[in-house]
Amino acid sequence: MTSRDLTPSQTAGPFFHSGLLRDPLNTLTTGQTQGERIRLEGYVYDGDRTGVSDALVEIWQANAAGRYRHPADLRPVPLDPAFVGFGRAGTDEHGFYAFETIKPGPVPFDTHTTQAPHIGVCVSARGLLDHLRTRVYFDDERANSDDPVLGLVPEPRRPTLLARRRTVEGQTVYRFDIILQGDQETVFFEL
């Protein structure tokens, strides 16, 4: 067998928009969802700070009471039937994404420790052979200083995990840019 008989290597994508984004999944709330309504938005950037136009951003989170909509979360915490807890958004031609959701409540880390409110994020994009996983913490959250996961991240890198709060036309908007590599690269977790 010679090298010309081998299958050439290829990277994944770009297929996210046509294959996984047929139906909009970036609104996690309904009119009856409990909790503080927020908009989470930002850009996915490559190492040159160019927007990645065909990335897929997925989020999962607890509801306002701190419970996940998952069969493994059996805690006696209220489950909000009007909250999905999972969303998916594609980036536009500039790398922009957005979600309409609520600010999550705190969740347990173990039997003694509570995690600060956060949103789990998974990013898929061209050139990535595996998903990248990170978290969004909120820059105005006091509980961040005691979060056991955020506490493992070196202090100079923590800002890459903080969404910045602002108010736009009366709506709370958190800006969270995802930088895939290079200077100020977002902290990604191996799970």
Q: What average pLDDT score do residues 111-117 get?
A: 95
Contact 132, 188 (CB under 8 A): yes
Q: How many domains does the chain have?
A: 1
Is 190 within a domain?
Answer: no
pLDDT tens-digit readout, 2-40: 555 565 544 455 454 555 555 668 999 999 999 999 999
Is the distance from CB of 147 to CB of 172 less than 8 angstroms? Answer: no
pLDDT attached to residue 128: 80
CA–CA distance, 88 with 122 (Å, rounded to integer): 9
Strands 114-115 and 56-60: unpaired
Domain for residue 191, yes or no? Answer: no
Q: pTM of the predicted model, to two decimals? A: 0.88
The predicted model gives 127-143 an average pLDDT of 93
Cα separation, 189 vs 2, whole angstroms = 39
CATH of the domain at 68: 2.60.130.10
Name the helix (H) or strand (E) containing 16.
helix 16-20
When pLDDT is averaged across residues 141-165 and rounded to a whole number, the result is 97
Domain enclosing residue 81, as ranges: 3-179
In a domain, 189, yes or no: no
Let me know if residue 60 belongs to a domain.
yes
74-97 per-position pLDDT tens digit:
999 999 999 999 999 999 999 999
Q: What is the DSSP letter of 20?
A: H
Beta strand pairing status for 132-138 and 162-168? Answer: parallel
Mean pLDDT across the chain: 90
- 147 falls within a domain: yes
Average pLDDT over residues 159-187: 96
Tell me, yes or no, whether 28 lies in a domain: yes
